[in-house]
Amino acid sequence: MGMISVQIMHLIDCPEFVPTLESWFVEEWAPWYGPGGAGDAKQDLVACRSKNQMPICLVAVGEDGNVIGTAALKAESVGDELGVGPWLAAVLVARAQRGQGIGTRLIAAMEDEARRLGFEAMYCSTDTAEGILKQRGWQLFGKATSLRGGVTVYRFEAADGKNQI
């Protein structure tokens, strides 16, 4: 099976995807976004109003023009008690499209965003994407706890080292 054609875009450029992503968030992260949870999926998505300041949201758009994945760059996430950031967060691919490299492409695009914005590093807490992060060279950083249980925190070196102070 060949790579499916995917276009990565900023959510700010395609706000029509917010309702679909909102329903995905509620389903995937029910303890946070579901009934009785402290999170507000729509509010978190609508907050992504910029390409140059956090929170920033990217979406993967399939050949049919529908959203098939998303990822965000945020100032806070599960694990921010470790005193670090920014965070790669909310990486999610439509169930029917999982296992086709879309998550990897979203993560790679967000690595590019972190570099473009001048961040030295980016972090991610996950209980599902460890394989992708390790494969892309992210380093084990620590442990944290989410509403779903324990998560592993990884660090991505975004800077090339030339502009370090």
pLDDT at 162 over 60: no
Instruction: Classify 64 as helix, strand or coil.
Output: coil
* Residue 87 buriedness (CB in 10 A; 0-12 / 13-18 / 19+): buried
| CB contact at 8 A, 58 and 67 | no
Q: CA-CA distance, 147 to 138, in Å (whole number)?
A: 23
Average pLDDT over residues 70-96: 89
pLDDT at 97 over 50: yes
- Tokens 């990217």 correspond to what residue? 58
Average pLDDT over residues 146-163: 76
Q: Please give the DSSP secondary-structure letter assigned to residue 36.
A: T
Q: How far is CA 111 from CA 34, 75, 81, 123, 158, in A?
A: 29, 15, 22, 10, 7
Q: What is the pLDDT of residue 96?
A: 93
Split at pLDDT 50, 70, 90, the class of 150 is confident
Average pLDDT over residues 105-128: 93
Q: What is the pLDDT of residue 91?
A: 94
Tokens of 41: 């999926």
This prediction's pTM: 0.88
Q: Which domains does the chain have, with CATH numbers?
A: 6-157 (3.40.630.30)
**Whole-number average pLDDT of the chain:** 89
pLDDT at 2 over 60: no
Q: Please give the DSSP secondary-structure letter assigned to residue 5.
A: P
Return the higher-pLDDT residue of 148 and 1: 148
- Reported as type and span, the H/E element at residue 85 is none
Q: CA-CA distance, 42 to 109, in Å (whole number)?
A: 23
- Reported as type and span, the H/E element at residue 57 is strand 56-62
Q: CA-CA distance, 57 to 9, in Å (whole number)?
A: 9
Q: CA-CA distance, 33 to 22, in Å (whole number)?
A: 9
